[in-house]
Amino acid sequence: MIAYIVRRLLMLPIVIAGVSIPVFSLMMLMSPFSRLALYVRDPDTLKQGPEELAEMVEALGLNDPVWEQYARWMNQILHGNFGWSESARQPVLKAIARLLPASVELTLYAAFPVVFIGIWLGKKSAVHQDMPVDHVTRLTAIVGWSFPTFVFGILMLMIFYGINRWCPPGRLSLWASRIVYSDGFTSYTGMHTIDAVLNGDFRVLGDALRHLVLPVITLAYVSWALILRLMRSSMLEALRQDYITTARSKGLSERVVVNKHAQRNALLPVTTVAGLMVANLLNGVVVTETVFNFRGLGAFAATAAVQLDLPSILGFSLFNGVLLVLTNLIVDILCATFDPRVRLN
Amino acid sequence: MWILKKLATRPLSIAGFILLFCFIVIAVIAPWIAPPEFAHQPYRIPRDGYWAEPKPPSSEHILGTAEGQYDIFYGVVWGTRTAFRVGLIVTLSGCLIGMIVGSIAAYYGGLIDEILMRIVDIFYTLPYLVAAMVLAVVLGRSLQSSMIALVCFTWMGYARVIRSEILRIREIDYTHAARALGASNMRILVRHIIPNALYPVFVMVSMNIGSMVIAVSTLSFLGLGAQLGYADWGQMISLARNWMLGSAGDAAAYWFTVVCPGIPIVLFVLAWNLVGDALRDVLDPRMRGSR
Q: d(Cα A324, Cα B124) in Å, to the nearest integer?
A: 9
The chain B residue lying nearest A319, using CA atoms, is B126
Choose between B224 and B27: higher pLDDT: B27
Cα–Cα distances (Å) from B289 to A47, A135, A189, A197, B277, in that order, read 70, 18, 52, 53, 15
Residue B289 has pLDDT above 50, yes or no: no
Interacting residues of B16 by C-beta distance below 8 A, sequence separation 6+: B270, B271, B272, B273, B274, B275, B277, B278
In DSSP terms, B44 is beta-bridged to B230
B231: closest CA among B51, B45, B56, B95?
B45
Helix (H) or strand (E) holding B108: helix B72-108
Q: Give B265's pLDDT tier (boundaries 50, 70, 90).
A: very high
Please write the tens of the pLDDT for every residue from B10-26. Answer: 777 888 899 999 999 99
pLDDT of residue B91: 93
Residue B209 has pLDDT above 50, yes or no: yes
- DSSP category for residue B230: B
Percent of chain A whose pLDDT exceeds 70: 93
Residue A47 has pLDDT above 80, yes or no: no
pLDDT of residue B290: 43
Please write the tens of the pLDDT for every residue from A167-206. Answer: 888 888 888 888 888 887 888 888 888 888 888 888 888 8
Q: Which pairs with CB-CB distance under 8 Å and at least 24 residues apart come from B152-157?
A: B152/B123, B153/B123, B153/B126, B153/B128, B154/B90, B154/B91, B154/B94, B154/B98, B154/B128, B154/B208, B154/B212, B155/B94, B155/B95, B155/B97, B155/B98, B155/B101, B155/B123, B156/B98, B156/B120, B156/B123, B156/B124, B157/B98, B157/B204, B157/B208
CB contact at 8 A, B222 and A291: no
Sign for the CA dihedral angle at B147, A15, A309, A71 comes to: negative
Q: What mean pLDDT comes out for the span B29-34?
A: 87
Residue A141 has pLDDT above 90, yes or no: no
The distance of Cα B120 from the centroid of its chain, to the nearest Å, equals 21
The b-or-e profile of A111-127 (16+ CB within 10 A means b, else e) is bebbbeebbebbbbbbb
Count of Cβ atoms closer than 10 Å to residue B93 Cβ: 17
Region class of B57: left (phi > 0), else alpha (psi between -120 and 50), else beta: beta
The chain B residue lying nearest A156, using CA atoms, is B244
Q: Which residue in A18, A139, A282 is closest to B127 by CB distance? A: A282
What does the CA dihedral A116, A121, A123, A128 come to, rounded to 10 degrees? 170
Q: Give A39's pLDDT tier (boundaries 50, 70, 90).
A: low
CB contact at 8 A, B278 and B206: no
CB contact at 8 A, A218 and A152: yes
The overall average pLDDT reported for chain A is 81
Q: Give B291's pLDDT tier (boundaries 50, 70, 90).
A: very low
Q: d(Cα B127, Cα A316) in Å, to the nearest integer?
A: 11
pLDDT of residue B268: 94
pLDDT of residue A342: 65
**Model pTM?**
0.84
Q: What mean pLDDT comes out for the span B156-163?
A: 88
Q: How many Å lie between the alpha carbon of A279 and the closest alpha carbon of chain B?
A: 6
Residue A325 has pLDDT above 80, yes or no: no
Q: What mean pLDDT comes out for the span A58-77?
A: 79
**Beta strand A84-85 with A90-91: parallel, antiparallel or unpaired?**
antiparallel
Count of Cβ atoms closer than 10 Å to residue B106 Cβ: 25
Region class of A167: left (phi > 0), else alpha (psi between -120 and 50), else beta: beta
- B161: helix, strand or coil: helix
Residue B267 has pLDDT above 90, yes or no: yes
The chain B residue lying nearest A282, using CA atoms, is B127
Residue A53 has pLDDT above 80, yes or no: no
Interface check for B221 against chain A (CB to CB < 8 A): the answer is: yes
A344 phi, psi to nearest 5 deg: -85, 65
pLDDT of residue B264: 93
Q: Which chain B residues are within 8 Å of A318, Cβ to Cβ?
A: none
Residue A279 has pLDDT above 70, yes or no: no
B226: closest CA among B139, B130, B141?
B141
pLDDT of residue A282: 75
Q: How many Å lie between the alpha carbon of A300 and the closest alpha carbon of chain B?
A: 12
Q: d(Cα B141, Cα B233) in Å, to the nearest integer?
A: 16
Q: What mean pLDDT comes out for the span A318-333?
A: 78
Q: Which of the residue ranges A341-345, B27-31, B62-66, B208-212 would you say has the lowest mean pLDDT?
A: A341-345
Q: Which chain A residues are within 8 Å of B267, Cβ to Cβ?
A: 146
Residue B250 has pLDDT above 80, yes or no: no
Please write the tens of the pLDDT for every residue from B87-107. Answer: 999 999 999 999 999 988 987
- A297: helix, strand or coil: helix
Interior angle at CA B30, CA B27 and CA B32, nearest 5: 145
CB contact under 8 A, B245 and A162: yes
Q: Which residue in A19, A26, A154 is closest to B258 by CB distance? A: A154
Q: What mean pLDDT comes out for the span B244-271?
A: 82
pLDDT of residue A38: 64
Residue A323 has pLDDT above 90, yes or no: no
Q: Which of the residue ranges A178-182, B178-182, B198-202, B248-252 would you say has the lowest mean pLDDT?
A: B248-252
Q: d(Cα A301, Cα A100) in Å, to the nearest integer?
A: 11
CB contact at 8 A, A144 and A256: no
Q: d(Cα B232, Cα B221) in Å, to the nearest integer?
A: 10
Q: What mean pLDDT comes out for the span B235-241?
A: 85
Q: Give B271's pLDDT tier (boundaries 50, 70, 90).
A: very high
Q: d(Cα A108, Cα B100) in Å, to the nearest integer?
A: 39
Q: Which chain B residues are within 8 Å of A279, Cβ to Cβ?
A: 124, 127
Q: Which of the residue ranges A141-145, A220-224, A301-305, B170-174 would you say has the lowest mean pLDDT?
A: A220-224
CB contact at 8 A, A211 and A167: yes
Interface check for B115 against chain A (CB to CB < 8 A): the answer is: no
Q: Which chain B residues are within 8 Å of A15, Cβ to Cβ?
A: 122, 125
Residue B219 has pLDDT above 80, yes or no: yes
Q: Which chain A residues are within 8 Å of B287, Cβ to Cβ?
A: 233
In DSSP terms, A90 is beta-bridged to A85
Helix (H) or strand (E) holding A90: strand A90-91
